[in-house]
């Protein structure tokens, strides 16, 4: 109460002025036709502007609500898109590129790759915890990639076929002649098939496949096509230039091959060696 009295004592004159000013305006408008018309027109314009402003504020607020709703829809669509991508990756990583029942296929993703060195390696995101071990072959849908060399719990390094020590037994598709596939360290798209006898029926454009004699790969996996055939003077065998089907510079998903009969074969070979 004391504060109210102090407030009135301090601002009472101004409050009284406003009160009397209001009475004057009321009497002026109600008892003077011209002033009343001016007041009504002015209040109508003011009311229209206020309504227009309120409408625009409502539109902006509605637009913001629509934007929030659209943002929610976009977020949900992105979430669904990521989910679909993950499903496609799972499908991609579980499909097998061949039907050889003696080999099982473990999908992996390439996380590091080299093609410009003399001895190139590939790193994949699968290791001993996923059943990957040294000497397993690695392929794609288009051809062979290399052989697993070193393994950790969750990663493996693969000796690429673009490695000077890599040797894979391969054959001409329509014939029984086979030789060793090697790389010269020059072009990552080309390897050479050696030791094919000169009486072999081979032509440019023929398909080269795995022979099955290398335990890393099953028989019949496509490797590349014959690009050139050469025969050194005095030699009894061709050197065949092979254009790889695989683009070794563009590797993403690969498959590690596990020979289901490896243990049985190893046992048999051990018996033979011990005799």
pLDDT (tens digit per residue) in 78-109: 445 545 544 554 555 444 444 445 778 888 99
Name the CA radius of gyration of the chain, rounded: 42
Give the per-residue pLDDT at 128.
93
Give the per-residue pLDDT at 1.
60
In angstroms, what CA-CA distances link 135 with 53, 138, 150, 197, 214?
77, 9, 9, 28, 11
Contact 258, 103 (CB under 8 A): yes
* CA-closest candidate to residue 160, choices 261, 259, 244, 97: 244
Positions of the chain with pLDDT lower than 70, given as ranges? 1-22, 24-101, 261-270, 272-275
Give the per-residue pLDDT at 199.
87
Percentage of the chain with pLDDT > 70? 58
d(CA 160, CA 147): 7
pLDDT (tens digit per residue) in 124-165: 999 999 999 999 999 988 899 999 999 999 999 999 999 999
Give the per-residue pLDDT at 47.
58
- Is 103-260 a domain of CATH 2.30.30.90? no
Give the per-residue pLDDT at 213.
85
The ranges assigned to domains in the chain are 103-260
Q: What HEC string does the chain produce?
A: CHHHHHHHHHHHHHHHHHHHHHHHHHHHHHCCHHHHHHHHHHHHHHHHHHHHHHHHHHHHHHHHHHHHHHHHHHHHHHHHHHHHHHHHHHHHHHCCCCCCCCEEEEEEEEEEECCCCCEEEEEECCCHHHCCCCCCEEECCCCEEEEEEEECCCCEEEEEEEECCCCEEEEECCCCCEEEEECCCCCCCEEEEEEEECCCCCCCCCEEEECCCCCCCCCCCEEEEEEEEECCCCCCEEEEEEEECCCCCCCCEEEEEEECCHHHHHHHHHHHHHC
């Amino acid at each position: 109460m004391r504060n109210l009295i102090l407030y009135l004592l301090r601002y009472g004159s101004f409050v009284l002025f406003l009160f009397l000013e209001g009475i004057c305006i009321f009497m002026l408008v109600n008892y003077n036709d011209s002033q009343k018309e001016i007041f009504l027109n002015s209040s109508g314009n003011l009311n229209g502007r206020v309504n227009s402003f309120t409408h625009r504020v409502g539109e902006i607020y509605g637009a913001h609500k629509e934007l929030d709703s659209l943002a929610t829809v976009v977020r949900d669509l992105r979430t669904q898109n990521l989910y679909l991508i993950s499903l496609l990756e799972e499908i991609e990583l579980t499909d097998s590129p061949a039907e050889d029942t003696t080999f099982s296929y473990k999908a992996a993703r390439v996380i590091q790759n080299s093609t410009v060195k003399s001895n190139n390696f590939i790193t994949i995101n699968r290791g001993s915890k996923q059943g990957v071990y040294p000497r397993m072959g690695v392929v794609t849908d288009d051809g062979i990639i290399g052989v697993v060399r070193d393994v950790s719990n969750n990663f493996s390094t693969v000796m690429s076929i673009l490695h000077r020590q890599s040797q894979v037994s391969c054959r001409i598709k329509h014939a029984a002649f086979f030789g060793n596939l090697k790389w010269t360290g020059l072009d990552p798209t080309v390897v050479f098939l050696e030791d094919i006898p000169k009486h072999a029926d081979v032509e440019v454009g023929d398909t080269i496949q795995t022979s099955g004699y290398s335990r890393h790969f099953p028989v019949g996996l496509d490797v590349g096509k014959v690009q050139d055939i050469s025969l050194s003077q005095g030699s009894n065998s061709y050197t065949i230039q092979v254009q790889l089907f695989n683009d070794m510079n563009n590797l993403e998903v690969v498959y590690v091959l596990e020979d289901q009969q490896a243990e049985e074969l190893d046992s048999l070979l051990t018996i033979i060696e011990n005799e």
